[in-house]
């Protein structure tokens, strides 16, 4: 709970600073927004580490193919990174570039799903035979 309060406080303080400086010093406002986002990301790294450790233990205990699960986690990571990057670029005033980042992220995700679709197809054909 304390981590969530810390994340929210950093976000609110950064947002207020950006609002106050946006009209007079847009360059500094952008850097403050970027720094706030980076601080928030750095504060949640421990949660990602815990999640990946849990996921590895779950895969080992269940005897599952870790490749598919790891691909799914990578897809989620690409989604978050794309959203974060596009948000920063859009906040800096370049909506069209942010849209291109979003499109690129969606295409990367589409390509990353091919092995999962193939594994699913192989599973279905194996069940039918």
**What pLDDT, on the 0 to 100 scale, is given for residue 82?**
94
pLDDT band at 56 (very low <50, low <70, confident <90, very high): confident
Tokens 């990174």 -> residue: 81
User: Using one digit for the tens of pLDDT, what is the confidence trace for 9-20?
Assistant: 988 998 899 888
Q: What percent of the chain has a predicted confidence (pLDDT) above 90?
A: 19
Structure tokens given for 91:
């906040």
**What pLDDT, on the 0 to 100 scale, is given for residue 101?**
93
Where do the domains of the chain lie? 1-43, 45-129
- Residue 104, class by beta-carbon neighbours within 10 Å (0-12 exposed, 13-18 middle, 19+ buried)? middle
**What pLDDT, on the 0 to 100 scale, is given for residue 83?**
92
Question: Could you tell me which residue, 62 or 41, shows the higher pLDDT?
Answer: 41
**What pLDDT, on the 0 to 100 scale, is given for residue 70?**
80
pLDDT band at 104 (very low <50, low <70, confident <90, very high): very high
């Amino acid at each position: 709970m304390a981590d969530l309060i810390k994340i929210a406080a950093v976000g609110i303080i950064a947002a207020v600073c950006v609002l106050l400086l946006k009209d007079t010093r847009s360059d500094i406002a952008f850097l403050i927004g970027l720094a706030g986002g980076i601080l928030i990301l750095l504060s949640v790294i421990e949660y990602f580490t815990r999640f990946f450790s849990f996921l590895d233990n779950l895969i080992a205990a269940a005897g599952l193919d870790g490749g598919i699960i790891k691909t799914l986690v990578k897809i989620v990571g690409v989604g978050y990174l794309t959203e974060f990057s596009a948000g920063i670029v859009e906040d800096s005033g370049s909506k069209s570039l942010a849209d291109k980042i979003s499109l690129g992220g969606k295409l990367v995700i589409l390509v990353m799903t091919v092995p999962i679709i193939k594994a699913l197809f192989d599973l279905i054909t194996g069940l039918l035979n």
